């Protein structure tokens, strides 16, 4: 039986093996993904991002436990650039081991972050497809909030949680608008710590700047002050990010957070946004493979000597890189 078939049959050892092949982008991994693809598209992908130490791993563990109580199967993909021997990663992982170990409804996979950001997002997408086809209904993806890779991974997720913690002060001010734009739910974790109020105030202010008042609410004849705090209704086509307080170490705020996550999923489905996002994601994946394949073919058909000659012309400023490609694609070098 092929690895892909074994995964579809619920074989955990085969699942672990296939994840490694997909992560390493082997031919066998790629072919298995082709076989598994028709079985994907069912899972709810939840991205959890934020600065190191905000409590993401602890929170992911709690979210996983909550969904397990609802009878859903949960996969966790943790992308952690930090050494396994330092920082909060180990502790978070230990928490996971203790609470989730032995539960066959849970599968945890850590992935070292790669040199190339594109490669990381692609590898993550592959792992997620494997879990999705293996019947995991909830897939949690933990990333350290550090820039473009988070934005790429958020594009992969249906629902993105951005985790903050009180007491980071200036760092909150320094959060790029980009990270706020990808947040569907802003979690203020460590709500047992002082400074929660001011953190929440700062986040609200930033949200209002990042998300200009949606016009749709005026069309519905409602005043904005009435609409914004309780928003969104599941039918609204726009989603104003929710702010949720949690204490991941003892589970406070978790039921409300889970409800918000489910509300967001319902919103995506009812508004049609679920399909729109999925289509955009699949199209991006399609584009990526076209690029990789065409570049590989083009370079393979270009003799070494010719490439050297072209590069020399480019370096001597006789022809621009863009012109060189254009000339090559239209046959022959002038």
Ligand X SMILES: Nc1nc2c(ncn2[C@@H]2O[C@H](COP(=O)(O)OP(=O)(O)O)[C@@H](O)[C@H]2O)c(=O)[nH]1
Q: Is the Cβ of residue 33 or residue 89 nearer to Mg ion in the bound state? A: 89
Span near ligand X by CB under 6 A; candidates 145-153, 184-192, 278-286, 295-303: 184-192
Least Cα distance to 139 among 121, 153, 157, 126 occurs for: 157
Span near ligand X by CB under 6 A; candidates 29-37, 54-62, 196-204, 283-291: 54-62
User: Which of Mg ion, ligand X, none does residue 183 bind (CB under 5 to 8 Å by kind)?
Assistant: none
Q: What angle do CA 76, 136, 105 make, to 5 degrees?
A: 75
User: Which of Mg ion, ligand X, none does residue 53 bind (CB under 5 to 8 Å by kind)?
Assistant: ligand X
Selected from 6, 49, 54, 113, the binder of ligand X by CB under 6 A is: 54
Taking CA atoms, 7 is separated from 16, 76, 127, 130, in Å, by 9, 17, 12, 8
Q: Is the Cβ of residue 52 or residue 234 nearer to ligand X in the bound state? A: 52
Is residue 253 involved in binding ligand X (CB under 6 A)?
no
Is residue 55 involved in binding ligand X (CB under 6 A)?
yes
The nearest distance, CB 229 to ligand X, in angstroms, is 24
User: Which of Mg ion, ligand X, none does residue 270 bind (CB under 5 to 8 Å by kind)?
Assistant: none
C-alpha 61 chain-centroid distance: 17
| Cα distance between residue 265 and residue 278, in whole Å | 13
Is residue 40 involved in binding ligand X (CB under 6 A)?
no
Selected from 17, 53, 81, 167, the binder of ligand X by CB under 6 A is: 53
C-alpha 17 chain-centroid distance: 22
Please report, as residue ranges, which positions from 191 to 210 form the binding site for ligand X (by CB under 6 A).
192-193
| Cα distance between residue 41 and residue 52, in whole Å | 30
Q: Is the Cβ of residue 44 or residue 190 nearer to ligand X in the bound state? A: 190
| Cα distance between residue 192 and residue 165, in whole Å | 10
Is residue 249 involved in binding ligand X (CB under 6 A)?
yes
The footprint of Mg ion on this chain (CB under 5 A) covers a number of residues equal to: 4
**DSSP codes joined into one string, 228-281:** HHHPPPTT-SS-PPEEEE-BTTTTBTHHHHHHHHHHHHHHHHHHTHHHHHHHHH
Site string for Mg ion, 22-61 (x = CB under 5 A): ----------------------------------xx----
Q: Give the CB-side neighbour count of residue 291, counting CA atoms within 13 A.
A: 7
For residue 304, report the phi and psi dihedrals to the nearest 5 degrees: -45, -50
């Amino acid at each position: 039986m092929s690895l892909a078939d074994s995964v579809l049959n619920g074989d955990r050892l085969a699942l672990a093996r296939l994840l490694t092949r997909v992560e390493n982008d082997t031919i066998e991994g790629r072919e298995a993904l082709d076989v598994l693809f028709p079985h994907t598209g069912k899972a709810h992908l939840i991205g959890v991002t934020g600065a190191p130490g905000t409590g993401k791993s602890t929170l992911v563990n709690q979210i996983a436990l909550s969904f397990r109580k609802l009878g859903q199967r949960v996969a966790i993909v943790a992308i952690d650039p930090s050494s396994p021997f330092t920082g909060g990663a180990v502790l978070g992982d230990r928490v996971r081991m203790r609470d989730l170990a032995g539960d066959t409804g849970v599968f945890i996979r850590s992935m070292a972050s790669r040199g190339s950001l594109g490669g990381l997002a692609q590898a993550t997408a592959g792992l997620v497809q494997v879990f999705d086809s293996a019947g995991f209904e909830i897939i949690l993806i933990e990333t350290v909030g550090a820039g473009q890779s988070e934005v790429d991974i958020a594009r992969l997720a249906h629902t993105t949680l951005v985790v903050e913690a009180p007491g980071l002060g200036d760092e909150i001010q320094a959060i790029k608008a980009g990270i706020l734009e990808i947040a569907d739910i802003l979690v203020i974790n460590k709500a047992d710590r002082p400074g929660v109020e001011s953190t929440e105030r700062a986040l609200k202010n930033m949200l209002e700047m990042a998300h200009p008042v949606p016009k749709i609410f005026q069309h519905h004849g409602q005043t904005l002050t009435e609409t914004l705090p309780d928003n969104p209704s599941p039918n609204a086509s726009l989603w104003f990010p929710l702010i949720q307080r949690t204490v991941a170490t003892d589970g406070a705020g978790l039921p409300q957070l889970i409800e918000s996550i489910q509300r967001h999923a319902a919103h995506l489905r009812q508004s049609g946004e679920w399909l729109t996002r999925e289509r955009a994601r699949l199209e991006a994946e399609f584009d990526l493979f076209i690029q990789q394949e065409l570049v590989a073919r083009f370079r393979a058909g270009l003799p070494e000597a010719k490439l050297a000659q072209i590069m020399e012309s480019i370096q001597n400023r006789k022809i621009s890189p863009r012109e060189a490609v254009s000339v090559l694609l239209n046959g022959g070098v002038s």
